[in-house]
Amino acid sequence: MTIAARLADLGITLPRPAAPVASYVPVVVHGGVAYVSGQIAFHDGHVIKGRLGENVTLEDGIAAARACGLMILAQLEAAGLLEQVERVVKLGAFVNSTADFTDHPKIANGASDLMEQVFGGAGQHARAAVGVAALPLGAAVEVDAIVALKSA
């Protein structure tokens, strides 16, 4: 079963891949590993802004992290790599949060659960989730990824 078919089964439509907001590229492949740039959350083309613990609910934060995950998949698809995924190796989840917020793991699960839904066991990854002071464009969540590819 292709990943495209799996996404269709799950009722997931990938967003249009966002152009980098600066001088870098969305994905670099080296040695069979794709390094995906940090993706912020978009909803209908607008950045999902805000700060956990202040003006973003847990539920909306989880949705934002899932949106970051969808953008990672969209970037892989745009690079022609989506069907080549052997393993999601590592996600880095950066949560825009107040100093007293402590539920970063729940937020990051929005992206993590998506990977497992889409790739099954190959979507099980290592992860680091931290709370940051601020994110590009005021985004609520940013997630980057290291993804192993099947040999061509």
* Shortest CB 148 distance to its own copies, Å: 5
Is the Cβ–Cβ distance between 149 and 84 less than 8 Å?
A: yes
Q: DSSP assignment, residue 139?
A: B
**Chain mean position to CA 117:** 13
42 Cβ contact partners less than 8 Å away, ≥ 6 residues apart = 15, 18, 48, 67, 71
Whether residue 78 contacts residue 70, with contact meaning beta carbons closer than 8 Å, is answered with: no
Q: Name residues whose C-beta falls within 8 Å of residue 9's C-beta, 6 or more positions apart in sequence.
A: none
Choose between 5 and 22: whose C-beta lies nearer to its own copies.
22
Interacting residues toward its own copies by CB under 8 A: 20-28, 30-33, 35-38, 51, 53, 86-87, 89-92, 94, 97-106, 108-109, 112-113, 116, 124-138, 142, 144, 146, 148
Closest to its own copies by CB, 4 or 137: 137
CB of 27 or CB of 64, closer to its own copies: 27
The residue among 4 and 126 lying less far from its own copies, judged by its C-beta, is: 126
> Least distance (Å) from its own copies to the CB of residue 3?
18
Q: Tell me if 8 sits within 8 A of 14, measured CB to CB.
A: no
Q: How far is the CB of 124 from its own copies (least distance, A)?
A: 5
To its own copies, the closest distance from the beta carbon of 132 in angstroms equals: 5
